[in-house]
């Protein structure tokens, strides 16, 4: 049962994750660290979220990771991430990783059939271009169609046409639908895979994962005893806690950082 977190109120579950010996704080980006905006590449973390991310990343035995459906190149751009960053990244829904002190690691999943991605792009772009407000997003292992600037009727039409195209030519590709976005990938990994990879890499005793979309539920469902899931905004969720907005994520991260720092003094 997901319950609403109230800022400024002591919370036993938040206190428990603050006390875990080796903590990973994993955050979806769009709609969680950043508000959803019409231009996807203009997204940036709220300053108050970025401030608490920096605080947490500076604490002992604490790692912060952004876990996103964005390709690694785009994720590094929108998170303003450089080679000296202490922040880990999981891109392409858990098919790509960047670790502090190591950098980007090779993907271990099955390779995309040569030329398939480009063939999909070539076939899909004319469809997307015909619909006002729809935008094409190239991805390392596929593509996305964004409709944040389109009306709902346009969204229905363009999604239906792209769905039909992929069903005919790439029926085995993984389909994901989110907030005003439809994605297709030749890779099958989801954010559940990212939770496993981050837990193993950092030997985490607890993970706090926060996300706002359907694809984030893959991660919520594999969280273990001692972990904490946080849903941002409405919708059914396997998360234990719910907050209203990215602004409240900043408040929750501040409460977590305050308590974890106090415990480590």
- Whether 138 and 258 map to the same domain: the answer is no
Q: Please state which of the ranges 67-71, 90-94, 103-107, 141-145 shows the lowest mean pLDDT.
A: 103-107
Q: Do 99 and 203 belong to one domain?
A: yes
Residue 38: pLDDT over 90: no
| Residue at a domain's end among 164, 185, 206 | 185
User: Do 34 and 97 sit in the same domain of this protein?
Assistant: yes
Provide the domain limits for residue 241: 3-107+189-264
Residues 101 and 211 in one domain: yes
Which CATH number characterizes residue 137's domain?
Answer: 3.30.70
Q: Clarify whether residues 127 and 252 are in a common domain.
A: no
In the chain, the number of structural domains is: 2
Residue 52 has pLDDT above 60, yes or no: yes
Q: Are residues 210 and 180 in the same domain?
A: no
Residues 93 and 196 in one domain: yes
120 and 196 together in one domain: no
147 and 253 fall within a common domain? no
If asked whether residues 76 and 51 sit together in one domain, one would say: yes
Last residue of a domain, one of 185, 212, 246: 185
What pLDDT was estimated at residue 140? 85
Do 91 and 203 lie in one domain? The reply is yes
Instruction: Give Cβ neighbours of residue 212 (< 8 Å, ≥ 6 apart).
Output: 28, 30, 31, 32, 179, 231, 232, 233
- The answer to whether the CB of 232 falls within 8 A of the CB of 250 is no
First to last CA, the chain: 34
Nearest to 260 by CA among 64, 99, 66, 85: 64
Rounded to whole angstroms, what are the CA distances from 147 to 17, 38, 150, 204? 36, 8, 5, 37
User: Do 130 and 103 share a structural domain?
Assistant: no
Tell me which residue has tokens 């559940």: 192
* DSSP string over 28-67: -TBTTTB---SSGGG----HHHHHHHHHHHTSTTEEEEEE
10, pLDDT greater than 60: yes
Among the three residues 144, 170, 185, which one is the final residue of a domain in this structure?
A: 185
What percent of the chain is predicted at pLDDT more than 70?
97
Band of the pLDDT at 109, cuts 50, 70, 90? low
CATH number where 255 lies: 3.40.50.1000
What would the pLDDT profile of 150-201 be if each residue is shown by its tens digit? 999 999 999 999 999 999 998 988 898 888 889 998 888 889 999 999 999 9
Taking a C-beta distance cutoff of 8 angstroms, is the pair 94, 197 a contact? yes
Quote the pLDDT of residue 199: 98
Give CA–CA dist 169/257, Å, rounded: 48
User: What's the predicted TM-score (pTM) here?
Assistant: 0.86
Please state, in angstroms and rounded to a whole number, the distance separating the CA atoms of residues 36 and 16: 30
Tell whether the model's pLDDT for residue 111 goes beyond 70.
no
Distance, CA of 218 to chain centre: 11
What integer pLDDT is reported at residue 15 of this predicted model?
A: 97
Residue 41 has pLDDT above 70, yes or no: yes
């Amino acid at each position: 049962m997901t319950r609403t977190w109230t800022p400024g109120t002591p919370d036993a579950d938040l206190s428990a994750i603050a006390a875990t010996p080796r903590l990973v704080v994993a955050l979806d980006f769009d709609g969680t660290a950043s508000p959803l905006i019409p231009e996807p590449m203009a997204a940036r973390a709220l300053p108050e979220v970025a401030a608490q991310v920096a605080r947490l990343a500076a604490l002992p035995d604490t790692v912060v990771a952004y876990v996103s459906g964005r390709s690694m190149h785009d994720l590094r751009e929108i998170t303003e991430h450089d080679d000296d960053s202490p922040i880990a990244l999981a891109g392409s829904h858990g098919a790509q990783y960047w670790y502090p002190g190591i950098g980007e690691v090779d993907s271990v999943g099955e390779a995309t059939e040569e030329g398939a991605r480009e063939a999909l792009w070539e076939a899909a772009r004319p469809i997307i271009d015909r619909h006002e407000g729809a935008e094409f997003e190239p991805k390392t292992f596929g593509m996305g169609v964004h409709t944040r600037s389109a009306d709902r009727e346009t969204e229905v039409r363009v999604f239906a046409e792209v769905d039909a195209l992929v069903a005919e030519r790439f029926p085995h590709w993984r389909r994901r639908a989110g907030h005003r976005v439809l994605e297709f990938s030749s890779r099958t990994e989801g954010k559940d895979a990212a939770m496993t990879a981050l837990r193993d890499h950092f030997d985490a005793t607890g993970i706090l994962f926060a996300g706002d979309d359907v694809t984030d539920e893959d991660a919520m469902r594999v969280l273990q005893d001692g972990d904490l899931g946080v849903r941002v905004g409405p919708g059914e969720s396997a998360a234990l806690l719910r907050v209203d907005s990215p602004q409240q994520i900043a408040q929750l991260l501040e409460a977590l950082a305050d308590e974890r720092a106090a415990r480590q003094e």
